Chain A
Amino acid sequence: MKCKSLLVAAFALATAATAANAQFRLPVIFPLGRSNAPPPAPPPGSLAPGAVTQGALVAAAGTDTVYFSANGATVDPTATATLAAQARWLLANPYVTVRLEGHGGPNDSRDYALAIGDRRANSVRDFLVLQGVAPQRITVMSWGKERPGKVLIGQSLVAAGPRVVTVVVPEPAPMPMPAPAPAR
């Protein structure tokens, strides 16, 4: 946020200066903070509850995904930083509910992938609850190894592997709709 307001300030300055003095030369502007700038999103505080999106979470916390070691379900320091930011955003948006989707590794056995994905999602849940997020706002599920996913590392796409993705659950429609028959 600081980085963005700096940039905005710099641009405002530049526009004003251009009008006042055509000779004014802009300084070289370095982006601050993360190299992969999150997509611009309105500040979370100003959002109506119905308009909260996955993009807003990603913008606030940097990413919706935290990674784990093989066979591990412990939240490591990198994940801690991300999840703390996610928790702050959740506390700032008290009407949002999230679903934590845990994933196993691509070479886990089918059942173990489901079990360890569930364990990872629950350890993220426990972390968010310790940060003050109400447990009722969080559901957990495990995908096992059914959604392997790909991430770009350098030039190559590799399997995303052991991770938990925080998914913003869309607000229910204001009018209750007839529920569709559960798919088999």
Chain B
Amino acid sequence: MGSAALAQEPEPTAQVIAIPPLATVKITDTDAGTTWGLANQIANLISADLKLSSKFIFADIQKVRIPSYPEVTAPSYPQWRSVGAKLLLQGFVNARSDGRLTIGCYLYDVQAGRELARQGFAVSTGEWRRAAHKCADMAYQKVTANAPMFDSRIAYVAESGSEDAPVKRLAVMDFDGANHTWLTSGDSTVLTPKLSPGGDRIAYTSFGGGKLHVEIVELGSNGGRPLIPGSDETFGPAFSPDGNTVLFSMSNGGNVDLYAVAAGGGFPQRLTTSPSIETGASYSPDGKSIAFVSDRSGRPEIYVMNADGTNQRRVSFGPGDYGSPAWSPAGDKITFMRTQGPLSRIGVMGANGGDERLLTNGPNDAEPAWSPDGSRVIFQRFDAASRRTMLATVPAGGGEVRPVPTPQGGSDPSWSERQE
């Protein structure tokens, strides 16, 4: 513990898995290197992904013969039993005549001697990492019954410049830091990006044009469009689980309330009417409830209501100020930040309140969000030594905080599985 190594301590129920290099029918040159080189890189990436979970122990395969191409579909079980493997994840990578790659992976139960799952992908040479992440997801889902999490993206705000007036740009990357791109120029401050459930759009808050407003950008397109053109100040967007509705906060003469609008734009529906502040909304995964922040009690606390605004009830009762609730993918928990004096920390509570547990010690942790499978919480942390705000994750049940490397400072993370 406490080491810089990223590998998670295996749990007692962890299973021993062998992940040999992939096979290739013929070593071929491609835009991404030879298929033999890719075969090794893909196996390494699958291992790196699965090492992030505590559910696997990795068999030592140094002394094992690397499977030949025919062996991909007919593994020699005795040799994998000899290294103590319970599971075997192997596959192939072939170059196609159209310049793309075919990548297949197979999961076997070594003890029972049978196939558990298989998946195949035709990908461009630039996207082989996605196929590797999908293979890792296949094994991860089979073993943990969790939702997949490795073919996922993190949207966040890249921070540079001075502390007093930081340059804040919208950025997106694969969850492991690959394929990093900036989506805005930094001319105007952007905040609170939220990836859509499919990972293909980002809703965020922008100061562009001198007025706070929510924008939506399609990944791969140029520039965002305002969610509601010409409205009052709007901020704090959140997608519904089906991606069709966006929650946001709108100010009306100093009274901030929650509204919902179709993601393509339209007439907003007002959800709260109290004279206090209502903001920071997050949908439950079934889309039937909304968690939000209100200061109707005199200080910001977390409340839950039905998606139409009825049945509002307070769920946070601990000391300090609460903020930024986010509903877990399984729907049973809400993560939040809690501030007491100068100390802000990340916590998790039951979706109806209670069972509150703080996951981090601060002193400046904020803006939590869930990993797609609900196993981890990603958040921002101010690092006093470098005087930068960085991203980090912590297991949702508590444990070691791990940094998420980004090229610059990072804040306001959002993490979503890709579906396109």
Can you name 13 A-B pairs with beta carbons within 8 Å?
A71-B298, A108-B300, A108-B339, A109-B300, A109-B367, A112-B295, A114-B256, A126-B254, A140-B254, A141-B210, A142-B251, A144-B191, A150-B164
| Residue among B208, B254, B323 with the highest chain A CB neighbour number at 10 A | B254
By the criterion CB–CB under 8 Å, are B164 and A147 in contact? yes
- State which residues 289-348 of B face A: CB under 8 Å: 293, 295, 298-300, 321-324, 337, 339, 342, 344
Residues of B in contact (CB 8 Å), total 51
Known: A111-B236, A123-B254. A184 touches B191 (CB 8 A): no
By the criterion CB–CB under 8 Å, are A112 and B164 in contact? no
In the complex, chain B residues whose CB is within 8 Å of the CB of A150: 164
Q: In the complex, A146→B212 CA distance in Å?
A: 12
**Residue A182 lies at the interface, judged by CB distance under 8 Å to chain B:** yes
Distance in Å: Cβ of A45 to nearest Cβ of chain B:
31
Known: A115-B277, A142-B233, A150-B164. A184 touches B192 (CB 8 A): no
Q: Interface residues, chain A, CB within 8 Å of chain B?
A: 70-71, 73, 107-112, 114-116, 118-119, 121-123, 125-126, 140-142, 144, 146-150, 182-184
Kindly report which residue of chain A lies nearest to residue B232, judged by CB atoms. Answer: A118
In the complex, chain A residues whose CB is within 8 Å of the CB of B191: 110, 114, 144, 146
In the complex, chain A residues whose CB is within 8 Å of the CB of B251: 115, 118, 122, 142
Q: In the complex, A119→B300 CA distance in Å?
A: 14
Distance in Å: Cβ of B11 to nearest Cβ of chain A:
33
**Residue B211 lies at the interface, judged by CB distance under 8 Å to chain A:** yes
Distance in Å: Cβ of A105 to nearest Cβ of chain B:
9
Q: In the complex, A184→B166 CA distance in Å?
A: 16
Known: A109-B366, A111-B279, A112-B293. A141 touches B212 (CB 8 A): yes
By the criterion CB–CB under 8 Å, are A111 and B323 in contact? yes
Distance in Å: Cβ of B363 to nearest Cβ of chain A:
10
- State which residues 268-291 of B face A: CB under 8 Å: 277, 279-280
Q: In the complex, A122→B232 CA distance in Å?
A: 13
| Residue among A107, A122, A142, A148 with the highest chain B CB neighbour number at 10 A | A107
- State which residues 218-232 of B face A: CB under 8 Å: 223-224
**Residue B206 lies at the interface, judged by CB distance under 8 Å to chain A:** yes
In the complex, chain B residues whose CB is within 8 Å of the CB of A126: 254
In the complex, chain A residues whose CB is within 8 Å of the CB of B205: 114
By the criterion CB–CB under 8 Å, are B323 and A184 in contact? no
Known: A107-B344, A114-B212. A184 touches B185 (CB 8 A): yes
By the criterion CB–CB under 8 Å, are A182 and B324 in contact? no
Q: In the complex, A111→B210 CA distance in Å?
A: 18
Q: In the complex, A73→B299 CA distance in Å?
A: 12
**Residue B8 lies at the interface, judged by CB distance under 8 Å to chain A:** no
By the criterion CB–CB under 8 Å, are B233 and A118 in contact? yes
In the complex, chain B residues whose CB is within 8 Å of the CB of A141: 210-212, 233
